[in-house]
C-alpha cells in the first residue's frame, strides 16, 4: 500500500533573521557554530523543494558599537546598520557555500564589489532555480526597520508566509522568561497583535502584511528542527493572519 509523503505547507517562504540570531551565546558579532546550524536548518527545508528568501538584520554588529553612535544623526546611524546587515549576509552566504547550498546576496544599497543590487526579476528567477536569496541593507532607506524590509520583500517575492525567527517559540500572553504561566498564542489576527502591542513585528511591517493578507509565523530559530516543522504546517510558533 502506498503511503503518501507529507507535503510542505508552504512553497515559498521569507525567513526574517535578526542579527542577534547569529550571535549564539556571544554578546556581539557572528558565532560561526550558530550560523552553521541555521544554515543546516535552511538546507533541510530546501531539500523539501521549498524556495527560501532571507532578510537579515544587523543588531549583532551595530549594537556592539552603539555607544559610539550615541547622539549620531538618525539617518547616518540607520545607514551604518544597513552596512552591518551586508556583513551578516556575506557571512551567511559563505556558510551556505561551505555546505553546497547555492545562494545569492542582493543589497538595497549599491555595493557591487560584494553583492548584487536588488533586482526583483533576478531574485524571483534565483528562487525558481533553487537558490537561496539573501536580502541585505533593509529597504535601502533610513527610518525603516528590517521587519518592514521583510514584509516588503515578502510581498515582492510573492511568498506564502513571512517566518519571523526569534529567541522565543511564539507570541505569549506575557513574557515567558519572567512569567512561567504565560500562554502561547497559537493564532492571532493582525489587528489583535497591533492593538495589544504584542511586538510581533513593528507596526509598519504588520500593517503592510495585513493589507496584503500575507501571514506571519513567529517561531524560535534556536529550537532544533523548528523551521522544518513550521514549513510542514505543524503546531510550532504563533501564526498571525487576517
Residue 66's contacts (CB-CB under 8 Å, 6 or more residues apart) are: none
In-domain check, residue 126: yes
**Can you give the pTM of this predicted structure?**
0.92
CATH classification of the domain holding 164: 3.40.1160.10
**Of 5-9, 64-68, 121-125, which gets the smallest average pLDDT?**
64-68
Binding site as annotated, residues for UMP: 58, 78, 139-146
Contacts of 43 (CB under 8 A, 6+ apart): 96, 99, 101
Residue 6 lies in a domain: no
Element (H, E) at 136: strand 132-136
Whether 62 is covered by a domain: the verdict is yes
Rounded CA-CA distance 82/76 in Å is 10
Q: 24 lies in a domain?
A: yes
Q: Which residues are annotated as a binding site?
A: 16-19, 58-59, 63, 78, 139-146, 166, 172, 175
pLDDT in tens, 72-120: 888 888 899 999 999 999 999 999 999 999 999 999 999 999 999 999 9
Confidence bin at 67 (pLDDT 50/70/90): low
* Rounded mean pLDDT, 184-207: 89
Best-predicted range by mean pLDDT (18-22, 59-63, 160-164): 160-164
* Residue 103 belongs to some domain of the structure: yes
pLDDT value at 126 more than 70 = yes
Task: Give binding residues for ATP as ranges.
Answer: 16-19, 59, 63, 166, 172, 175
pLDDT at 1 over 50: no
Band (pLDDT 50/70/90 cuts) for residue 4 is low
Does residue 3 belong to any structural domain of this protein?
A: no
- Is the residue at 2 inside a domain? no
Q: Domain containing 195: what range?
A: 12-241
Which strand ranges, in their side-by-side order, compose the sheet holding 51-56?
116-117, 103-107, 132-136, 51-56, 12-17, 161-166, 216-220, 238-241, 187-189
Classify residue 18: in a domain, yes or no.
yes
Residue pointed to by grid coordinates 500575507: 214
pLDDT > 60? residue 65: no
Which secondary-structure segment (H or E) carries 187? strand 187-189
| Angle subtended by helix axes 32-46 and 74-98, to nearest 10 | 70
Number of domains into which the chain is organized: 1
Amino acid at each position: 500500500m502506498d503511503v503518501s509523503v507529507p507535503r510542505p505547507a508552504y512553497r515559498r517562504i521569507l525567513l526574517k533573521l535578526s542579527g542577534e540570531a547569529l550571535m549564539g551565546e556571544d554578546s556581539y558579532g557572528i558565532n560561526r557554530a550558530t550560523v552553521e546550524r541555521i544554515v543546516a536548518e535552511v538546507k533541510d527545508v530546501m531539500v523539501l523543494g521549498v524556495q527560501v528568501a532571507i532578510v537579515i538584520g544587523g543588531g549583532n554588529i551595530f549594537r556592539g558599537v552603539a555607544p559610539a553612535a550615541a547622539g549620531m544623526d538618525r539617518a547616518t546611524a540607520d545607514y551604518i546598520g544597513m552596512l552591518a546587515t551586508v556583513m551578516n549576509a556575506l557571512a551567511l552566504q559563505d556558510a551556505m557555500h561551505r555546505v553546497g547550498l547555492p545562494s545569492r546576496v542582493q543589497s538595497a544599497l549599491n555595493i557591487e564589489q560584494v553583492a548584487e543590487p536588488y533586482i526583483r526579476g533576478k531574485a524571483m528567477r534565483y528562487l525558481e532555480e533553487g537558490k537561496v536569496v539573501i536580502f541585505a541593507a533593509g529597504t535601502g532607506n533610513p527610518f525603516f526597520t528590517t521587519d518592514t524590509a521583510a514584509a516588503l520583500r515578502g510581498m515582492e517575492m510573492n511568498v506564502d508566509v513571512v517566518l519571523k525567527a526569534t529567541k522565543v517559540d511564539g507570541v505569549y500572553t506575557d513574557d515567558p522568561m519572567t512569567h512561567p504561566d504565560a500562554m502561547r498564542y497559537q493564532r492571532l489576527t493582525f489587528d489583535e497583535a497591533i492593538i495589544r502591542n504584542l511586538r510581533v513585528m513593528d507596526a509598519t511591517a504588520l500593517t503592510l502584511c495585513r493589507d496584503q493578507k500575507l501571514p506571519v509565523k513567529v517561531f524560535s530559530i534556536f529550537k532544533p528542527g523548528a523551521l522544518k516543522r513550521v514549513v510542514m504546517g505543524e503546531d510550532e510558533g504563533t501564526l498571525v493572519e487576517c
